[in-house]
Amino acid sequence: MATDRTSGPAPLAMLVDALKRLPGVGVKSAQRMAYHLLQHDPHGARQLGQALTDAVQRLRHCARCNTFTESEICETCQSPRRDPALLCIVETPADQNMIEASHSYQGLYFVLMGRLSPLEGIGPREISFDRLLERAADGIVKEVILATNFTTEGETTAHYLAELLRARGLTVTRLARGVPAGSELEYVDAGTIAWALMDRRAS
Amino acid sequence: MATDRTSGPAPLAMLVDALKRLPGVGVKSAQRMAYHLLQHDPHGARQLGQALTDAVQRLRHCARCNTFTESEICETCQSPRRDPALLCIVETPADQNMIEASHSYQGLYFVLMGRLSPLEGIGPREISFDRLLERAADGIVKEVILATNFTTEGETTAHYLAELLRARGLTVTRLARGVPAGSELEYVDAGTIAWALMDRRAS
């Protein structure tokens, strides 16, 4: 097979190309990763290859909450200890993990696997809004907690969803905005202080 | 298989763990990569899995220059158009590609696949110094050009190699240090200006 001098033998060029598809990885990083794996960690390369094949084959979306799972319904959705009247909407499984780590939520989840981002061409059709609305309209869910990120895109997504869900008679809440636990006011940004003042509560 | 709630189903956790082995990738990036591949690019995931397996199986080190190749001897080392009296030493195949792209070198190469880094525990034994010395002592090589990076580690490697190679009667040179092509002196760092003054040449 002909090889391009600037990219080396074909299997190496193909590996660099495949690594470039990872988010945040450009050609230089992809090359560094390829050399590292081939030179110092061929075992890790085999392991990653196997893990990728396994994950794509074995994982699918939970029919209820949309997170990645090996079964039809994920463990959290199957749990009888969860309050089915509460539904928390997050962008990614990582966000769900953070909420679980707070040990202060016992309801169920819906994982959007993304957020609205008009600039990237991600609209309501690209996100599983239909499935979410269907899920929230099961007659058992009473309150939907919007826990998308507090970024522009996350806020846009939350506003959009709030309208859709309220129109269906559901109570819609959003995570509280305010001063982070343990922080000194001097080092908190002005926007956060403004929110904390606006949303101040009786103490 | 038991799954850890903070890391999701086993294939996902295994994928995140495997991605974390890539250089410069921490747990947050690994999660983002895994979600991206599973959600938006399962084809890319399969492709990367295959590319990793292929690369590890098919690539080996060129018996002469140590770069990655599918054959016993790489194309560059086999080329009759190359000057076998010149041997250029680089850290990685990417560095070799940059030198090739300059279209100003017609000799052969030796790729170290690393550099001395005492802080990371990488000494002469971890780098293929024995093979390099054997390669350089073939009786045909007259001049060895040290083209390791101009970082602390690259300079250390160059100094170390220069001593070993000079002791074997070879002419040892180093890439010129100086002001980069097309740059304005005002924006060049002081260290580079100092080198350019020290190595100034008749014009």
Which residue of A lies nearest to B27 if distances are taken between CA atoms?
Answer: A94
Q: Do A36 and B42 touch (CB under 8 A)?
A: no
The answer to whether the Cα torsion of B28, B30, B33, B35 is positive or negative is: negative
> Are residues A88 and A65 in contact, defined by beta-carbon separation less than 8 angstroms?
no
Tell me how far apart the alpha carbons of residues B31 and B201 are, in angstroms, rounded to a whole number: 53
All residues at 6 or more sequence positions from A95 whose CB lies less than 8 Å from its CB, including other chains: A111, A147, A149
In this prediction, residue B26 carries a pLDDT of: 94
Neighbours of B138 (CB within 10 A): 10
Per-residue pLDDT tens digits for B95-145: 999 899 889 999 999 999 999 998 888 888 888 889 999 999 999 999 999
All residues at 6 or more sequence positions from B8 whose CB lies less than 8 Å from its CB, including other chains: A67, A68, A69, A93, A97
In this prediction, residue B107 carries a pLDDT of: 95
In this prediction, residue A1 carries a pLDDT of: 36
Residue B7 pLDDT level (bands cut at 50, 70, 90): low
Pick B58's closest partner by Cβ from A11, A36, A75.
A11
Q: Over 90: is that where the pLDDT of B200 sits?
A: no
Tell me how far apart the alpha carbons of residues A140 and A98 are, in angstroms, rounded to a whole number: 25
* Bridge partners, residue B117, by sequence: B122
Classified as helix, coil or strand, B5 is coil
Tell me how far apart the alpha carbons of residues A200 and A177 are, in angstroms, rounded to a whole number: 10
Instruction: Give the C-alpha distances (Å, rounded to integers) separating B62 from A47, B110, B131.
Output: 25, 9, 11
Any idea where the domains of chain A sit in the sequence? 10-58, 61-174
Low-confidence ranges of chain A (pLDDT < 70): 1-7
For B63, counting Cβ atoms within 10 Å of its Cβ (0-12 exposed, 13-18 middle, 19+ buried), the class is: middle
Instruction: Give the C-alpha distances (Å, rounded to integers) separating B195 from B90, B180, B184, B203.
Output: 21, 12, 16, 17
In this prediction, residue B182 carries a pLDDT of: 87
Give me the amino acid identity at A193: I
> Are residues A132 and A112 in contact, defined by beta-carbon separation less than 8 angstroms?
yes
DSSP letter, residue A91: S
Q: Residue B116: which of B87, B158, B66 has the closest Cα?
A: B158
Neighbours of B127 (CB within 10 A): 21
DSSP letter, residue B176: P
Instruction: Give the C-alpha distances (Å, rounded to integers) separating A101 from A50, A97, A106, B10, B32.
Output: 29, 6, 11, 18, 18
Which residue of B lies nearest to A50 if distances are taken between CA atoms?
Answer: B49
SS3 string, A97-125, reads HHHHHCCCCCEEEEECCCCCEHHHCECCC
Query: What residue spans of chain A are helical by DSSP H?
Result: 10-20, 27-40, 42-58, 75-78, 93-101, 129-136, 152-166, 190-198
The CA distance from B171 to the nearest CA of chain A, in Å, is 28
Q: Chain B neighbours among A 91-110 (CB < 8 Å)?
A: 92-94, 97, 100-101
Q: Over 60: is that where the pLDDT of B6 sits?
A: no
Q: Chain A neighbours among B 31-70 (CB < 8 Å)?
A: 31-39, 41-42, 44-56, 58-59, 67-70
Neighbours of B153 (CB within 10 A): 18
φ, ψ for residue A12, nearest 5 deg: -70, -45
In this prediction, residue A53 carries a pLDDT of: 94
Which residues in chain A are contacts of B30 at CB distance < 8 A? none
* Bridge partners, residue B173, by sequence: B145
Which residue of A lies nearest to B122 if distances are taken between CA atoms?
Answer: A40
Tell me how far apart the alpha carbons of residues B30 and B41 are, in angstroms, rounded to a whole number: 15
Which helix (H) or strand (E) segment holds residue B90: the answer is: strand B83-90
Tell me how far apart the alpha carbons of residues A109 and A67 are, in angstroms, rounded to a whole number: 9
- Across the range B149-165, mean pLDDT stands at 93
The CATH classification number of A61-174 equals 3.40.1360.10
Q: Do domains B10-58 and B61-174 have the same CATH topology?
A: no
The CATH classification number of B10-58 equals 1.10.8.420
In this prediction, residue A3 carries a pLDDT of: 37
Q: Do A55 and B75 touch (CB under 8 A)?
A: no
Q: Do B18 and A47 touch (CB under 8 A)?
A: yes
